[in-house]
Amino acid sequence: MSFAEMDVDTIWMDGEFVDWNDAQIHVLTHGLHYGSGVFEGIRCYDTENGPAIFRWDEHLDRLYASAKPYDLDIDYSRKELTTATTELIRRQGLESCYVRPIAFYGYDSLGVSPAGCPTQVAIACWPWGTYLGEEALEEGVDVMISSWRKHASSQIPTNAKTTGLYVNSMLAGEEARRNGYVEAIVLNKEGNVAEGPGENVFLVRDGEIYTPGLAESILDGITRQTVITLARERGYTVHHNAAISRGELYTADELFFTGSAAEVTPIRTVDDTQIGTGTRGPVTEDLQSAFFDLVERRVDDHDEWFHYVNE
């Protein structure tokens, strides 16, 4: 669904609420030319206690941490960003939504150095359903190994959620879709599994769970952290610092993606090779159910992970 079809009308930008169509920047904005910005993608879920932002504090932690390597000073406090976000959700009457805070170098000069360019900050939120499709949650998705590799942390900080780095994700994802797949998996420079274009990857083998470690050039996803916690609470052995070869994907019992947008999505084929039985596996289903029971507040666990909009 395009933004034009959505019932949203307000964005918070540089300390003010502005009309959706008036949230504009100059064409010579530094961040537009050099990708010099950081952002977050966050889900707000509809619960019996009203809209609740999932793991808001952890997302804020990562937003400020992502800004550090770029000397990008976010002049707004955590409290100010929290107040702005909750008010933005209330103003638009959203019960569930996707929240996108972004900070970037603005307009002043256009050398590669951002010296003199102000930091601009904006927050938008809008309704966003299942990222890879409703049927994907049950049936799984078909993916391919991308010909594009994930950059190494010695080249660009992989632990920062940087706007410009997502050209790598765009190339991998569009390559997959051009070839008839739903999504891609990207390998790192060593040829091991890194992640999806916007997701972390989990592998299940003999009832144990494996996911690439931070040294494999991945972003430490908030949903990744959540699923690791939920899995261990359910008694699963989780290897969270795994190095996974390409070949191990084809012989896995189960594979699944995690992400704020993708949530928990099974993978049914890789390069046309069926994974397990070709359907959502029992471990994936168990963790997926645990995740949605949690975020939709059908269970009372981990209330500390929720920021209720109306409180």
In contact, 125 and 165? CB cutoff 8 Å = no
Q: Which residues have CB under 8 Å from 287's CB, separation 6+?
A: 227, 230, 231, 234, 256, 264
What residues have CB less than 8 Å from 5, skipping those under 6 apart?
A: none
Residue 161 is among the residues annotated as catalytic for this protein: yes
- Taking each helix axis as running N to C, give the angle between helix 282-295 and helix 222-233, from 0 to 180 degrees, rounded to the nearest 10: 110
Q: Which of 296, 134, 295, 281 lies closest to 223, judged by CA?
A: 295
Kindly give, in sequence order, each residue whose CB lies less than 8 Å from that of residue 155, ignoring residues fewer than 6 positions away. Answer: none
In this structure, which amino acid lies at residue 39? F
Distance between CA atoms of 30 and 28, rounded to whole angstroms?
Answer: 6
Annotated catalytic residue, options 68, 79, 150, 161: 161
Length, in residues, of the chain: 311
Residues 6+ apart with CB under 8 A from 310: 49, 50, 51, 90
The residues carrying an active-site annotation are 161
